[in-house]
């Protein structure tokens, strides 16, 4: 369970989030949408504990996030960032194996169960053929799948993903969303995911959180949030765009 109350954050005195409050229940599959610069990535980083709130509070299962140790946090939530930077060039298998670190004592080697988890996740994500390849030998889309696989290997009850589909072709976009949906339905994994493509919302996300200008514009069941009126309002669309009931935006005239 995630509870966000009065959350505020600024970069160099420029407000990015202003008084956001909402709750995510266990087993929710919640999409975060909004224009560029609306605070989506910042919100995810605050929940992940990468950034500290400048106002308000975040709690996980009734415990303030600020009071959780790094290890406890890593056993509760996993995080896939928007941009992947290769700091250490490890093979794919070893990179995904890093997701098992929260369950190992210091200096301990990965056990048989840890390796079994990694093998299973590599198979689920279609990465088994790449298991011995170095990260720098992969395409952007392949590297993105490796980071998603590492988060899956962490086996946390909460997964936070910031635009995980951005570097993937359409086939792998659906494959990743199907995997997340399977985790959500079979293991009750709570998913909080930043998406730009509205076509994925109705088929996967039971809830949607819509941000604009650092403020929570709409939050609730996806079918109630993703409406033509809300999309026009939040994305400042003029009469040259049409929006259908499914949230698909089409430009009707040229400038």
DSSP string, the chain: -EEEEEEEEEETTEEEEEEEEEEE-TT-EEEEE-STTSSHHHHHHHHHTSS--SEEEEEETTEEGGGS-HHHHHHHEEEE-SS---SS--BHHHHHHGGGGGGS-TTPPP-HHHHHHHHHHHHHTT-GGGTTSBGGGS-HHHHHHHHHHHHHHT--SEEEEESTTTTS-HHHHHHHHHHHHHHHHHS--EEEEE-S-GGGHHHH-SEEEEEETTEEEEEEEHHHHS-HHHHHHHHT--TTEEE-TT--EEE-S--
What percentage of the chain reaches a pLDDT higher than 70? 96
Q: Which domain holds residue 188?
A: 2-251
Residues of the chain with pLDDT under 50: none
CATH of the domain at 156: 3.40.50.300
Q: What is the pLDDT of residue 173?
A: 92
Tens digit of each residue's pLDDT (9 = 90 or more) over 38-48: 999 999 999 99
Q: How many domains does the chain have?
A: 1
Q: What is the pLDDT of residue 26?
A: 96
Q: What is the pLDDT of residue 210?
A: 97
């Amino acid at each position: 369970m995630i509870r966000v109350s009065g959350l505020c954050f600024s970069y160099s005195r420029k407000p990015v989030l202003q008084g956001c409050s909402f709750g995510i229940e266990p087993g929710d599959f919640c999409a975060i949408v909004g224009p560029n610069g609306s605070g989506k990535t910042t919100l995810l980083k605050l929940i992940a504990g990468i950034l500290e709130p400048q106002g308000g509070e975040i709690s996980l299962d009734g415990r303030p996030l600020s009071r959780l140790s790094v290890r406890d946090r890593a056993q509760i939530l996993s995080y896939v960032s928007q941009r992947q930077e290769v700091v250490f060039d490890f093979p794919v298998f070893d990179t995904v194996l890093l997701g098992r670190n929260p369950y190992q004592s210091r200096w301990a080697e990965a056990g048989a169960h840890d390796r079994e988890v990694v093998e299973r996740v590599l198979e689920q994500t279609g990465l088994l053929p790449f298991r011995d390849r170095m990260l720098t030998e992969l395409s952007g889309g392949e590297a993105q799948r490796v980071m998603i696989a590492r988060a899956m290997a962490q086996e946390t009850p909460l997964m936070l993903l910031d635009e995980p589909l951005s570097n993937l072709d359409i086939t792998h976009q659906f494959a990743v969303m199907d995997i997340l949906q399977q985790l959500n339905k079979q293991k009750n994994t709570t998913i909080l995911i930043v998406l730009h493509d509205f076509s994925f919302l109705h088929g996967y996300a039971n809830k949607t959180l819509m941000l604009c200008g650092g403020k929570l514009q709409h939050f609730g069941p996806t079918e109630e949030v993703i409406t033509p009126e809300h999309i026009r309002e939040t994305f400042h669309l003029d009469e040259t765009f049409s929006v259908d009931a499914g949230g698909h935006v089409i430009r009707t005239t040229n400038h």
